[in-house]
Amino acid sequence: MEFARKVWKVLVAVKDGLALLLLLMFFGLLYVALSARPGVAAVEEGALLLKLDGFVVEEPSAPDTLTLIMSQQAPVGEYRARDVVRALRIAAKDDRVKVVALDLSGFLGGGLVHLQDIGEALDLVRKSGKKVYTFGLAYLDDSLLLAAHSDEVWLDPHGGAFITGQGSSRLYYAGLIERTKVKVNVFRVGTFKSAVEPYLLDSPSEASRRSDDALYGALWLAWQADYRKARPKVDIDRVTGDALAWIKQSGGDPALAAKTAGLVDRIGTSSDFHRRLREVAGEDPRDDSFAGFAHTDLDTWLVANPEDKPGEAIGVATIAGEILNGEEGPGTAGAERIVGVLEDALDDDLAALVVRVDSPGGALMGSEHIRRAILRFKEKKVPIVVSMANLGASGGYWVSTPASRIFAEPATITGSIGVFAVMPTFGEALGQFGVNQAGVKTTPLTGEPDVIGGISPEVGAMIQANIEKSYREFTSLVARSRGISVERAPDWAEGRPWDGGTARQLGLVDEFGGLDDALAHAAKLAKLENGDWHAEYLGQEAVSPLASVLKRLGAGGSASTGDDFFATVARRQASLFARLEASLRGLMETRGVQAMCMECPALGSGLARRNDHTESGLILTFLKATAG
């Protein structure tokens, strides 16, 4: 008994000690978070430093504090495009900013529309008489497009710069599926709805190839036009025509070849770059090293320059990423979460509503729930305008149909008006292992759809009929909202994605313009004058102090600064592979009817972000188990 009491005292002491330790850690982190919070006093006269280590996205994901603490790997950084643009616009007018320093050594990319918006903001800085300096290790299309709007583009001696052009690449599983004897039941409508082709074919169909050629050809032309406007002396044809000969002319040195072609202006290390900034921005009072320069980072700058909110509010509802049915997001368009945000805003007496879409679509039911929530504003006579960023396709277009006007950019990908469903069955595959199924049915629908034994022809016909009904509903919805003929749906639907220019010609888009243009039009519909309104971003979640401090302590997505060009490119490709894996996982799951543009390019980490608690689908699990 005495021994038990001693053991109990030890356990209580351990418990109390752990509780005290956790309490001390909590208050310590809270103190650091509060003391580390940037403010006006932290702004340094000198350079505005934009160190973009990660992706530029429409809507960053909300950081999960527990994941940040437990993860052995730093999460990929995400930067809201609107925040970067706002920071640059303010810098153009603020005398405290002498120069803008753009560090792209850890940049992983972003959508073309976002990059164009940031490029225009960089041009505003230069027009104000201030210089823009950029440093990078590996410049590819995305980072080159940003760097082109600089006065000096710096490249590490071991780096390089290449123009790769627009394109797409998908994996095809017909051979693997045939080998494993899994039957993939595909239900779709639309000649160009090629999302299901990876299960059926070993390569793209002719219709899919034609569609991709037209879409990516238009995006490639848009990229070239923007780059040539910013850096007209670069001979793009020379760089892309025979890249090997171009490199060999500089002795096999990619950095020297990039400078010779005019892709970059100066070759030097990050220390050289910092010394250059020290010359133009001044010395950093907090850093007396030879490379220290006076600067203010992006987070500090944004906190020091809060947004003005004059007059009435025009709500901005963001639908970014794949549309799912649940609470997912931000960064993923969880329909239940977005509907909740919209319903909360119904009582806010908004003067107008702008729906900002950057989504390839997803769950048809989730898209419809969001559409219905938007329609409630229409019932209250609230003007509704849609602004499309990089993507407003399939389900992303479905949720756009309540708008009186749709704004997009020439580089926006939209349309993809079609639906599909994929349902795997495993009867023949399991039969190889001696597993068979038998039972009793009281009606033809008993146990259907049977994902083990196989879907009966009657049930398969019923599912296909439902898909066709959903497609008719989709095309009718678009025809009514856009005032175009549903009889001509084969010309603008059939699951084909369009670039913004073609979509405008087809009547799917009304006008070219960005979010600012959509807000101005919404204000006009609400009969508001300039200065009498402000944008109210609905459901925008603030980063918790604890998550913020963990990021500052090193859990953020900082990129290595010691990689050479090829290691940097490999890191980008690894990120692309992770996004591809997430996309495949989404396809492999047994899910409902989808209005999803799988042909659309993955944009940043936001698009491929899937809800982590979702397990792999049956087909992916089976393939993993049997492929060996």
Annotated catalytic residues are: 193, 394
Kindly report whether the peptide bond that precedes residue 449 is cis, defined as omega within 30 degrees of 0.
yes
| 182, 431 contact by CB (below 8 A) | no
* CA-based max dimension of the chain: 89
Residue with the two structure tokens 């320069």: 293
Task: Give the chain's length.
Answer: 628
Q: Which amino acid is at 147?
A: A
Select from 600, 605, 616 the least CA-distant residue to 578. Answer: 605
* Distance of alpha carbon 274 from alpha carbon 264, whole angstroms: 17
| 76, 108 contact by CB (below 8 A) | yes
| 615, 148 contact by CB (below 8 A) | no
**Residues with Cβ < 8 Å from 548, sequence gap 6 or more?**
33, 36, 37
* Distance of alpha carbon 36 from alpha carbon 400, whole angstroms: 41
Taking the CA atoms of residue 363, residue 366, residue 372 and residue 374 in that order, the dihedral angle to the nearest 10 degrees is -90
| 351, 312 contact by CB (below 8 A) | yes
**Residues with Cβ < 8 Å from 336, sequence gap 6 or more?**
325, 326, 327, 366, 369
615-628 burial, b at 16+ Cβ within 10 Å, e below that, comes to eebbbbebbeebee
* Distance of alpha carbon 345 from alpha carbon 324, whole angstroms: 21
* Distance of alpha carbon 582 from alpha carbon 564, whole angstroms: 28
Q: What are the φ/ψ torsions at residue 434 (nearest 5 degrees)?
A: 80, 20
Q: Dig out the tokens for 39 from the structure.
A: 């403010």
Cα first-last separation, the chain: 58
* Distance of alpha carbon 125 from alpha carbon 133, whole angstroms: 11
| 131, 77 contact by CB (below 8 A) | no
Select from 555, 550, 558, 557 the least CA-distant residue to 33. Answer: 550
Q: Which regions of 207-284 does DSSP assign to beta strands (E)?
A: 266-267
Q: Dig out the tokens for 92 from the structure.
A: 């153009």
- Helix (H), strand (E) at residue 386: strand 384-393
* Distance of alpha carbon 80 from alpha carbon 299, whole angstroms: 11
- Helix (H), strand (E) at residue 257: helix 254-261
**Residues with Cβ < 8 Å from 60, sequence gap 6 or more?**
78, 79, 80, 330, 331, 606
* Distance of alpha carbon 24 from alpha carbon 245, whole angstroms: 62
DSSP letter at 194? G
* Distance of alpha carbon 189 from alpha carbon 472, whole angstroms: 9
* Distance of alpha carbon 408 from alpha carbon 508, whole angstroms: 10
SS3 track for 487-548: HHHHHHCCCCEEEHHHHHHHCCCCEECCHHHHHHHHHHHCCCCCCCEEEEECCCCCCCHHHH
